[in-house]
Amino acid sequence: MVEPKVSVIVPVYNEEESLPSLCRRLFGVLDGMGKPYEVLFVNDGSRDATLPFLLQTRKDRPGTMRIIDFNGNFGQHMAIMAGFENAKGEIVITIDADLQNPPEEIPRIVRCVEDGHDVVGTVRRQRRDSVFRVTASRLANRLTNRITGLSLHDYGCMLRGYRRDIVDIINELAEAATFIPALAQKFAAAPIEIEVAHSGREQGRSKYGLFRLIRLNFDLMTGFSLAPLQAVTVTGILISVLSFLFAVFMFIRRLVVGPEAEGVFTLLALLFLLMGVTISCIGIEGEYVGRIYQEVRRRPRYVIRKIYDSDPPSE
């Protein structure tokens, strides 16, 4: 068998509705490219008919399709990690299963890698998500670039291409909580960003609620920078200086005006404000401590129940 040149990794979590048309379009594009390829589906603990469907499809696609079956839900990024560790191709592409990223863009990405780029990032042209998500993610992109010192225009778009050497570096790191596009960007020598089409989710629903998106962004910010910690320190210093000045002012006022007991509610408001700031700061510190804990504990990042290899499909 020829070694696959292009590996396509698809994380799937309860995507039974999207899979039929995804497979049709994805395999169509890959067949048309005329290069050896493999598609690696990572089943991230789906509870619907995702796995049976994939197993069935594998029978019709001998030699081109592998399935990694997780024994629980470990998240999209861990699914891609597992894909990275098992991919055999020189060029590795990641794509969502929900067809929001059209598989038809894959040949362009492959060409960029062949032209010498080690990481091909993508920016969603005319993004079709809710106004709330588009605005929130625009803000998050800007904040993240500021904090991490990276420059990516669209952290969320997961239709991306990676060259073998970058994949090897990422595999070696084996980070517990991570954000793959940012990680790749950090180690890329010749990255490029291209625009890709984007469509609304037609089947199934988004797997990311608000809370999960916030968690993911914490991963991104604390995983790639110490800036939040430094912000805590600076905030502390600032508050200390201001309160010192205020104390001096109050002392002088006490001497000039005499004792006063007004402004109790202003005091209360100030107190709550400072309490809020303090708790947030403890929270930020905690984010880092929690991550250190995760790393030192060295639990497996994901557990694979079974890998269904491309051939021969016997069961």
CA distance 106 to 90: 14
Binding of residue 11 to ligand UDP (CB under 6 A): yes
Least Å distance, CB 17 to ligand UDP, is 11
β-sheet bridge partners, residue 121: 193
Binding of residue 118 to Mg ion (CB under 5 A): no
* Cβ closest to ligand UDP, residue 216 vs residue 281: 216
Identify the residue among 96, 118, 219, 287 touching ligand UDP (CB under 6 A).
Answer: 96
CA distance 85 to 71: 17
Residues with Cβ within 8 Å of residue 203, at least 6 apart in sequence: 15, 17, 18, 21, 98, 99
Binding of residue 170 to ligand UDP (CB under 6 A): no
Tokens of 66: 């592998």
- Candidates 44-52, 97-105, 147-155, 266-274 — which segment interacts with Mg ion by CB under 5 A? 97-105
Residue 73 interacts, among Mg ion, ligand UDP, none and using kind-specific CB cut-offs from 5 to 8 Å, with ligand UDP
* Cβ closest to Mg ion, residue 98 vs residue 118: 98
Residue 208 interacts, among ligand UDP, Mg ion, none and using kind-specific CB cut-offs from 5 to 8 Å, with ligand UDP
Q: Would you state the torsion angle of the CA atoms of residues 266, 268, 270, 271, taken in this order, to the nearest 10 degrees?
A: 160
Site string for ligand UDP, 207-246 (x = CB under 6 A): xx--------------------------------------
Binding of residue 157 to ligand UDP (CB under 6 A): no
Report CA 26 to chain centroid distance, whole Å.
22
Q: Would you state the torsion angle of the CA atoms of residues 134, 139, 143, 144, taken in this order, to the nearest 10 degrees?
A: 0
- Candidates 52-60, 110-118, 206-214, 284-292 — which segment interacts with ligand UDP by CB under 6 A? 206-214
CA distance 240 to 186: 36
Identify the residue among 16, 17, 44, 154 touching ligand UDP (CB under 6 A).
Answer: 44
CA distance 101 to 111: 17
Q: In angstroms, how far is the first alpha carbon of the chain from the final one?
A: 21
CA distance 228 to 280: 11
Least Å distance, CB 306 to Mg ion, is 26
Helix (H, G, I), strand (E, B) or coil at 261: coil
The footprint of ligand UDP (CB under 6 A) covers: 11-13, 15, 44, 73, 75-76, 79, 96-98, 100, 206-208
Q: Give me the residues that bind Mg ion (CB under 5 A), please.
A: 96, 98, 100
